[in-house]
Amino acid sequence: MQDKTYDMLSRAARSAVENAYSVYSRFSVGAAVLMDNGEIIRGSNQENVASPSGLCAERVALFYACSAYPGVRVRAIAIAARDASGRWVPDLTPCGACRQVMAEIIHRYHSDFDVILPGPRDELTIIPASTLLPAPFSV
């Protein structure tokens, strides 16, 4: 069940790449968040000429998911990217800001979730979000 669900989530992340606004970096990223209620929320990076005013795909998707479904925990997020030449970038891990947001979501819902990274031959690397940032900010 998890393999098929995660394959489908990875495909959703790849489809979200098409909605990226990446006219400056030409590096398009898509993310798809699977919620505990079965909803899938997509996001893509949104750049702005006044860098760093843009936002990564992971945060676009996670912030929307937690806003639309505030009482529903995140089960997984898949991340996919395509470079300026149109090639898929395998095993792209989130930036530090996205990792901190993931740590906050774990804290908020008291539940870890999987980060799914499509590999070069569509195999999936699955990493617990809690392992991406070993010393997150906290109060």
Residues annotated as part of the active site: 58
E strand spans, the chain = 28-35, 40-44, 74-82, 88-89, 114-118, 124-128
Of the candidates 59, 65, 32, 62, which has an alpha carbon nearest to the alpha carbon of residue 46? 59
**Both structure tokens of 66:** 């937690």
The answer to whether 51 and 27 have CB atoms below 8 angstroms apart is no
Residues contacting residue 47 through CB under 8 Å, at least 6 positions apart: 21, 22, 23, 24, 25, 54
Residues contacting residue 83 through CB under 8 Å, at least 6 positions apart: 26, 27, 89
CA 108 – CA 44 distance, rounded (Å): 23
